[in-house]
């Protein structure tokens, strides 16, 4: 049995078990009677959704189960759609059915690219154009099942993304400077960075490092004394030069390093169970690739990546608006919403409290940027 069919059957059984209909005497004594009962109150809570052996399952039976299991997530999708529509109306931006079709095409292309197989040299052995429409639908079904998202929810998300892309695109295009394109080219085609870094086990060790840096000790001396990576610590925390394509390090760590200015020290960043502080020592430009040969493709790639980042930023901002202004009148959904807010707030407050206490006790070095870094999910392979 296909996984999707099995999922439908299981869901169906769950829904049936949740209904509170009682079998009629006729159905109990004569199970072969399959004549459907008359339909009642179309559109109301007693509207008949299904019948089985003479008994009815009504909308009133179905809705509480659906609301409890899926209601909040669907509601939040619809809230996001409404908010992004309001923003588009404010900017006099119209999203057409063609825009939504385009968004679906982009989504499927990204999904197909994620399924490409690579050979030993890193070249794809399958291409999106090899995938048939039927295979596209199968890929989408698999993704939706894995993410526990229905087709109806997926269509709402598509519409949200179409609005976000239509809003973000012109702004990104205006700000896509030649300098930004060249920087992206350097990262994509072989620019290397020279990084010194310090590895800590916990925030107490981070506090000691920050205090030493604030007192004027050199980064390299602090690395020799305090870094938990003894191999690089003995070298003043020096790593071999690496590119953005180097697979020895996680993407988050590489992004952090390539965004630094020469001489700049990063915020402490947690990657797995270790915490890292990095300093950019130098940049080594690409050796062979020529900017003029690649600038158009680099610009397109940078445009796509920047639009995605802008869409995420707008989506986060809409989430904050929802936190401030959403009022849910259904008691069950309101309780679920409050529980979700409380869980997220407790997590955020814990992180902020740790940082505030640390900063109060040990002010950061003046060379550190003021913004907080988001903890990556993995750690560089060189950590010991």
Cβ contacts of residue 203 below 8 Å, gap of 6+?
A: 268, 275, 354, 358
Average pLDDT, the chain: 77
Q: Is the pLDDT of residue 94 over 90?
A: yes
240 touches 192 (CB < 8 A): no
Grade residue 354 by pLDDT with cuts at 50, 70 and 90. low
**What pLDDT shows up at residue 208?**
94
Mean pLDDT of 335-362: 70
Dmax (CA) of the chain: 90
Alpha-carbon span 209 to 269, nearest angstrom: 13
**What pLDDT shows up at residue 42?**
56
| pLDDT tens for each residue of 204-225 | 999 999 999 999 999 999 999 9
Of the chain, the end-to-end C-alpha distance in Å amounts to 47
Alpha-carbon span 341 to 326, nearest angstrom: 12
Q: E-strand spans in 82-125?
A: none
**What pLDDT shows up at residue 350?**
64
**What pLDDT shows up at residue 237?**
94
Q: State how far Cα 50 lies from the chain centre.
A: 38
β partners of residue 204: none
CATH 3.10.50.40 residue window(s) in the chain: 190-297+354-384
Alpha-carbon span 297 to 352, nearest angstrom: 41
Mean pLDDT of 315-344: 88
Tokens representing 205?
Answer: 């060790």
Short-list 211, 258, 229, CA closest to 365: 211
Q: What is the CATH number of domain 190-297+354-384?
A: 3.10.50.40
Sheet holding 269-271, edge to edge: 192-200, 274-284, 269-271
Tokens representing 348?
Answer: 């955020």
């Amino acid at each position: 049995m296909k996984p999707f069919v099995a999922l439908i059957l299981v869901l169906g059984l769950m829904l049936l078990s949740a209904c509170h209909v009682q079998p009629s005497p006729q159905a109990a004594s004569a199970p072969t009677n399959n004549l459907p009962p008359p339909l009642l109150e179309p559109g109301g809570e007693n509207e008949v959704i299904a019948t089985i052996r003479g008994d009815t399952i009504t909308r009133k039976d179905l809705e509480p189960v659906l609301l409890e299991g899926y209601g909040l997530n669907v509601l939040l999708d619809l809230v996001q759609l409404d908010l992004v529509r309001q923003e588009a109306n404010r900017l006099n931006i119209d999203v057409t059915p063609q825009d939504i079709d385009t968004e679906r095409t982009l989504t499927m292309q990204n999904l197909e690219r994620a399924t490409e197989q690579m050979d030993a040299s890193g070249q794809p052995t399958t291409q999106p154009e090899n995938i048939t429409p039927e295979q596209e639908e199968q890929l989408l079904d698999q993704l939706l099942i894995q993410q526990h998202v229905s087709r109806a929810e997926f269509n709402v998300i598509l519409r949200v993304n179409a609005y976000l892309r239509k809003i973000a695109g012109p702004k990104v295009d205006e700000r896509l400077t030649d300098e930004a394109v060249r920087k992206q080219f350097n990262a994509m085609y072989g620019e290397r960075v020279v990084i010194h870094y310090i590895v800590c086990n916990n925030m107490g060790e981070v506090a000691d490092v920050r205090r030493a840096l604030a007192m004027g000790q050199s980064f390299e001396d602090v690395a020799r004394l305090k870094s938990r990576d003894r191999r690089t610590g003995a070298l003043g925390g020096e790593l071999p030069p690496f590119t953005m394509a180097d697979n020895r390090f996680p993407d988050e760590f590489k992004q952090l390093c390539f965004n630094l200015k020469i001489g700049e020290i990063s915020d402490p960043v947690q990657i797995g169970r270790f915490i890292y502080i990095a300093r950019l020592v130098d940049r080594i430009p690409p050796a062979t690739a020529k900017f003029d040969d690649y600038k158009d493709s680099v610009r397109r790639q940078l445009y796509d990546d920047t639009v995605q980042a802008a869409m995420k930023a707008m989506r986060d901002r809409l989430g904050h608006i929802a936190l401030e202004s959403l009022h849910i009148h259904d008691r069950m959904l309101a309780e679920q919403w409050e529980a979700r807010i409380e869980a997220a707030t407790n997590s955020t407050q814990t992180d902020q409290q740790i940082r505030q206490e640390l900063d109060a006790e040990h002010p950061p070095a003046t060379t550190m940027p003021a913004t907080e870094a988001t903890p990556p999910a993995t750690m560089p392979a060189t950590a010991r």
